[in-house]
Amino acid sequence: MHTFREHRWQSFLQNYENRARLLISCPDKPGIVASVTSFLYEQGANIVESSQYSTDPEGGTFFLRIEFDCPNITLRKQEIESAFQPIAESFHMDWRLRLHNDVKRIAIFVSKAEHCLLELLWQWQAGELIADIALVISNHEHLRNTVESIGIPYFHIPVTKETKAEAEQKQIELLKKYEVDTIVLARYMQILSPAFVAEFPGRIINIHHSFLPAFVGARPYERAYERGVKLIGATSHYVTDDLDEGPIIEQDVARVDHRHHPDDLKRMGRIIEKTVLARALKWHLEDRVIIHGNKTIVFY
């Protein structure tokens, strides 16, 4: 499995060595697409994918994601960014240019539940999740062997009410040491402090069931069963200071009925959770998500 992943990794780097992504958000007005595409043409680029959206053609916000191939983009990135700056300023753009091969380094936070972690590890080993999993951090020891057996560092940092600040400081030090870009909370059953969240704005992805706000707290599946819910689901979102209220990236549901007992709901919920989290992370890694206020624009 490890050999296959390494082969896929090398193939990816070779196949996309000249590809980049340009993400833009700005006030909507005529001429944005024409100016951007003309600029890319002048740089010798060939557009291979383009998606756009406007909240309102008159006075709204315009969003654009373009993937393109351009010879020697790795060496020319800074040059192209400097040349694009006047266009960006003329349209008041918030923008970024990312190389396709600039693979993000991620950290996975996990507690005892293993389903989301295992899904991410499986997709990573299969070459479906293009990322560098730098480390796994947990407040329990339960999953150490699973993680270390495939060569990923595992750090056990216990968290209690009294030691929370100290534990988070250790976590932050590790994340900086390993140069982590993105943090994935794969059923990590701890609430992150505002100070921790502020260190990684727009770079922490969480997953939880979609019963909120109806069934807050413990035993949500049991209470949902008692209420006779007909839909269960999962939500993946960016973490903000407002608990479980950050910009949503992806959601999914499954229909249930009176024949499904709490254990059935939990089993189905686990399947939805791991699938939704993997999709959300994949889109984030591919720069398909633009945060706009407390919502997201996702170019699938």
For residue 154 the two structure tokens come to: 């595992």
- Residue 209 bridge partners (DSSP): 234
69, 132, 244, 252: which one is catalytic?
244
The SS3 assignment for 236 reads: strand
Distance of CA 4 to the CA centre of its chain: 24
Burial 258-272 (b: 16+ CB within 10 A, else e): eebeeeebbebbbeb
- Determine whether 54 is exposed, middle or buried from the number of CB atoms within 10 Å of its CB (0-12, 13-18, 19+): middle
* Amino acid present at 130: I
Tell me, letter by letter, the H, E, C secondary structure of 278-291. Answer: HHHHHHHHCCCEEE
Catalytic residue list contains 244: yes
By annotation, the residues acting in catalysis are: 244
